[in-house]
Amino acid sequence: MRIALQPADVVAGGDVTPGTTATTTVAAPVSSSPPQVPFGKQMRALFEFHPNYTPLNHGSYGTFPAAVRKFREASLHEHEERPDTFRRFTQPEIIKKSRAAVAPLLGADVHVDEVVFQLNATTGVNTVVHNLAGKWSASAGDAVLHFTTIYGACRKTLLSLEEFGRLRTVEIHMAFPDDSDDDLDAKLRATHAHAVEQGLKPRLVVIDTIVSGPGVLMPWQRLVATARELGMQSLIDGAHGIGQIDLTELGSIKPDFFVTNLHKWLFVPRGCALLYVPFRNQHQITTGLPTSWGYQLPGERDPSRYFPDLFADLGTSDMSPYACVETAMAFRRDVCGGEATIREYCVWLAKEGGDRAAAILGTYVMDNPNSNIRQCNFANVRLPLTIKPDAEIASDDSTSIPLSCVAEVADWIQMRGVLEGDTYLQAMFYNGIFWTRFSSQIYLDIADFEWGARQLVSYCERVKAGEWKK
């Protein structure tokens, strides 16, 4: 089954977002493969946002265009017409085709039988770590290293296995924007050396491609090479990977395990992720999560087929997102001008829009001249709020925020966006400072960043006035 992109799916629309009047005009990049529909307001018409909603936080859950939604509904309808026939015979072939379609985005050195679908990146991380840790022991000193900015759910995965006595966790202490790429590499080396001095056996390091909070690009390629040099395997959490950064050199970078969400930045419905395990490491993955029909005893396994077959059927679930991969990729290629064109616009918008938002707020964008942390689809803009330890706030200081109340203030700001602005403005307290994380996307333009910044100016003034306490 295939649904063609109809003209109605790619007709330019009018102004549909609050804050459509830009106070600054900045020319968008001119691509050698321009989109069929201009990025910004006209591209937004191909998605299905409520007319009043301003989507400034794409990075959390992603979204997808109407054309992909229509394909998914047709696929679900076909499934229900002949449930058994579709589930037993049609669906497995669709999934094979989808794997073959997406594998080239990881580069020519990646074989289709090195990639399988997962529900999300967290599931992929759990799959890898549980398989590896099954042969480890905390009492023997087996350890996993991770950076301070590891995704919270993945951190809890490691802690749960530590509770079960399977491993020790070791944190690589770092902070943005203070640490440069060189600093991160040096801290990985130093933490590994210290762990060895303490009698531990560092087995694995978990590395993000792009950190979720704050939203910054990591020098993950370099860190993979360092891990290999130090004798550790690398697990790359690329939740913010495919569809946002170029991954076509993945095979030559040679991570040991790599997982990436398709539903965040590739316009595939939730939940859909890829787990990449190169042939050289597939013997380490002996079960899926949950263990299901693909599992075989060691003597029964065909090494040439065991890994992809292991994940072909993990039990009854909605696999329709997997069927949408080709349609999402066709939309990106035929309507949007291709992956490079999308990347170029989104990185440009994150930089220009972030700078404009910072100017409106009277602050700055998180950056480090000795790194590439801004070379992604996020802009972390400081909020004009002062935080102090509770004991240091004077009786006549009515504008500073007590350190003990930062979570409450962040929640208040986010709820103001939801209740009053019909948006979601990501507010986070990180490294002693309040930030907001803007996500760029092809359906946004600089006017949207400006509108979001003006909302935040109002909310921050109200925070200073103490309204969050009421």
Q: Most distant CA pair in the chain: distance in Å?
A: 75
One domain for residues 116 and 210: yes
Domain span including residue 30 = 12-63+337-469
Within a 10 A sphere around the Cβ of 225, how many other Cβ atoms?
Answer: 16
Q: Tell me the C-alpha distance between 376 and 380, whole Å.
A: 11
Helix (H) or strand (E) holding 238: strand 233-238
One domain for residues 95 and 57: no
State how many domains the chain has: 2
Decide which of 275, 297, 323 is a domain's last residue: 323
One domain for residues 48 and 192: no
Decide which of 265, 295, 323 is a domain's last residue: 323
So what's the pLDDT on residue 24? 57
DSSP state of 24: S
Count Cα neighbours of 141 within 13 Å in the Cβ-side half-sphere.
10
Distance of CA 322 to the CA centre of its chain: 18
Asked if residue 4 belongs to a domain, the reply is: no
| Best CA proximity match to 466, nearest among 398, 369, 379 | 398
One domain for residues 18 and 146: no
Q: Provide the token pair at 394.
A: 């004077």
Q: What is the CATH number of the domain that holds 172?
A: 3.40.640.10
So what's the pLDDT on residue 25? 61
One domain for residues 287 and 363: no
Asked if residue 231 belongs to a domain, the reply is: yes
Residue with tokens 């003990």: 404
* Three-state DSSP class for residue 206: strand
One domain for residues 258 and 351: no
One domain for residues 164 and 291: yes
CB 379, CB 350: distance < 8 Å:
yes
Q: Tell me the C-alpha distance between 85 and 130, whole Å.
A: 34
* Three-state DSSP class for residue 293: coil
CB 238, CB 126: distance < 8 Å:
no
Q: Tell me the C-alpha distance between 12 and 18, whole Å.
A: 18
Per-residue pLDDT 10s for the chain (470 aa) are 434 444 334 333 333 333 333 455 667 776 678 899 999 999 999 999 999 999 999 999 999 999 999 999 999 999 999 999 999 999 999 999 999 999 999 999 999 999 999 999 999 999 999 999 999 999 999 999 999 999 999 999 999 999 999 999 999 999 999 999 999 999 999 999 999 999 999 999 999 999 999 999 999 999 999 999 999 999 999 999 999 999 999 999 999 999 999 999 999 999 999 999 999 999 999 999 999 999 999 999 999 999 999 999 888 889 999 999 999 999 999 999 999 999 999 999 999 999 999 999 999 999 999 999 999 999 999 999 999 999 999 988 889 999 999 999 999 999 999 999 999 999 999 999 999 999 999 999 999 999 999 999 999 999 999 999 98
Q: What is the CATH number of the domain that holds 407?
A: 3.90.1150.10
Query: What's the CA dihedral at 462, 466, 469, 470 to 10 degrees?
Result: -70
One domain for residues 367 and 317: no
Residue with tokens 């059927």: 313
Radius of gyration (C-alpha) of the chain in whole angstroms? 23
Q: How many residues does the chain have?
A: 470
**Residue 18 bridge partners (DSSP):** none
So what's the pLDDT on residue 396? 87
Asked if residue 2 belongs to a domain, the reply is: no
One domain for residues 133 and 251: yes
**Residue 423 bridge partners (DSSP):** 54
